[in-house]
Amino acid sequence: MTENASPRAPGAQASVEPVAPCAVLITGASSDIGAVYVDRFARRGHDLVLVAPDKQRLDASASGLREAYGVAVDVLQADLTRPDDLAIAEARLRDDARIDTLVNNAGMALSVGLVQQSARAWASLRCRRSRASTSSWT
């Protein structure tokens, strides 16, 4: 469209509807690639909901993000391998109308060396990972 062209009648006011604030919920937000996602979304001005089991890390990250980028940051301490914590995160995602993006980056691991890991432990981990990543988050 050229500088002089206008889709509305001369003198007409543009109709601007308020845009609801949007937020990004990021699981696994306290370390590694999750922390990179957190920083990149905050740098672009997105409000955030950070989800991870380590509340101290989450709080420190949230404080730094608020100061550095001026974004709103909520912290949700949750270990998504635990059904009760998963239900809390799921409810937040479902009920918070600001959230329009989910980055599901929750990682899970067994806390023993490779040689000490049993087939049963691996099966349990696979089941938990599947349940956390395919839960009814709508």
Predicted pLDDT at 16: 55
In whole angstroms, what is the distance from residue 107 CA to residue 101 CA? 18
Predicted pLDDT at 134: 44
pLDDT in tens, 5-30: 445 555 656 555 545 568 999 999 99
In whole angstroms, what is the distance from residue 46 CA to residue 39 CA? 10
The count of structural domains within the chain is 1
- 8 domain-assigned: no
Q: Which among 107, 81, 96 is positioned nearest to 25, based on CA atoms?
A: 96
Residues in the chain: 138
Higher pLDDT, 51 or 114: 51
The CATH number of whichever domain residue 47 belongs to comes to: 3.40.50.720
- 63 domain-assigned: yes
- 31 domain-assigned: yes
- 98 domain-assigned: yes
Q: What is the edge-to-edge ordering of all strands in the sheet holding 99-103?
A: 73-77, 47-52, 23-27, 99-103
For range 59-74, the mean pLDDT: 97
- 13 domain-assigned: no
- Judge if pTM exceeds 0.85: no
